[in-house]
Amino acid sequence: MRIGVVGAGVQGKLHAQTLAGLAGVELIGVADLLPQNREWAHGQGIPAYGSLDELVPQVDALSICLPDHLHEQPTIAALDAGVHVLLEKPMALSTAACDRISAHVTDRTTLMIGHVLRFDPRVIRARELIQAGAIGEVWDLQVWRCTSQAVGQGIWDRTGVHWFLGIHDADLVRFLTGQELEVVSALAASRFSDQVDVVHAALRLSGGGLVTMNESWLLPHSRPSRADAGVKIVGEKGLIEIDLSHSDLFLASREGDASFRDTRFWPSDSGAGAFNLKTELDEFVRVVREGRPSPVTASDGRAAVAVIEQIDARLGRAAA
């Protein structure tokens, strides 16, 4: 199967590195406007192109990892060319843009949205338990995703923390509970940028349960782990908690430096191991190769965007 990557930023590099190691996959190349990203690809032995038009005729599928505000047109162009697309989250920056993309989706095999938490084994098991009635009716759900300001630097000139991090949790809550979300209220503040740097939102599940979402990139650089993330779900019969922080391996030096390292979400330096992004990309390859329905549809992507759009509306901000 011939596949390409569009956008060789942080996420695009991870996708390219992972795809290059998948059995039965030929990484044809990456497309990126920035010379430094094309130079990175050449350094990895990966062909690099300056435009999407050069890559599309050579591939069966594309992983689109462009900045969020650039998702719409390349995705439509690829779909219209008959190419299968894995589109990184968020699907777009408005439900209107999601609808325009969806109008070019011919069937459930052609577009998959990259909500990587759906491929975390802990999340999958928690969803199974909730569906089996292990905690009964969901009464109260708390979800949070707080990271270092280093995560926001370089992107907070064009996006807010609720779009960059909260989109994960909007989809996570829908996936875990099987219910829809209504935003009741939201508070936000700008601390480092002109965008939203911290947001606290109150939501209601379609089944009546209450949800709080807390997203920020306020943590100091010096924190050993850049991420504090998790979910707590309280039901009539019990409780489920998942620690979703990227902090499962701890490294300390004799010189006093200390840090947590991730082994669950992203590839190692060599690209080896089992990790959530690999599981996601493996599933995308099966969707394309076997004609399976996408496990994360355009409708799923739109629903998560709708939640963040509602938060913007509660904050008095216009959709992009």
Identify the pLDDT of residue 259. Answer: 85
Fold of 2-116+285-296: Rossmann fold (3.40.50)
Average pLDDT over residues 82-109: 97
Residue 233 C-alpha from the chain's centroid: 21
Per-residue pLDDT at 34: 95
Helices and strands (H and E) in the chain: how many: 11, 14
Q: What is the mean pLDDT of residues 232-248?
A: 94
Residue 320 has pLDDT above 60, yes or no: no
- Cα(145)–Cα(20) distance, integer angstroms: 30
With a cut of 90, say whether residue 247 has pLDDT above it: no
Where in the chain are all domains bearing CATH 3.40.50.720?
A: 2-116+285-296
Q: Is the dihedral of CA 144, 172, 262, 48 positive or negative?
A: negative
∠ at Cα 78 (30, 48), nearest 5°?
15
Distance CA 183, CA 185 (A): 6
The CATH 3.30.360.10 portion of the chain extends over 121-262
Task: Tell me the pLDDT tens digit for each residue of 26-84.
Answer: 999 999 999 999 999 999 999 999 999 999 999 999 999 999 999 999 999 999 999 99
146-168 pLDDT, tens digit each: 999 888 988 999 999 999 999 99
- Owner of token pair 């338990």: 129
CATH number at 121-262 = 3.30.360.10
State the pLDDT confidence band at 261, using cuts at 50, 70 and 90: confident
Q: How far apart are the C-alpha atoms of 239 and 139, rounded to whole Å?
A: 10
CA distance 235 to 286: 35
Mean pLDDT of the chain: 95
CB atoms within 10 A of CB 204: 15
Percent of all residues in the chain with a pLDDT value above 90, rounded to a whole number: 85
Residue scoring higher pLDDT (259 or 295): 295
What CA–CA distance (Å, rounded) separates 3 from 263? 25
Assign 307 a pLDDT band (cuts: 50, 70, 90): very high
pLDDT reported for residue 2: 98
Q: Which of 127, 144, 143 is nearest to 135 (CA)?
A: 127
pLDDT above 70 covers a percentage of the chain that reads 99
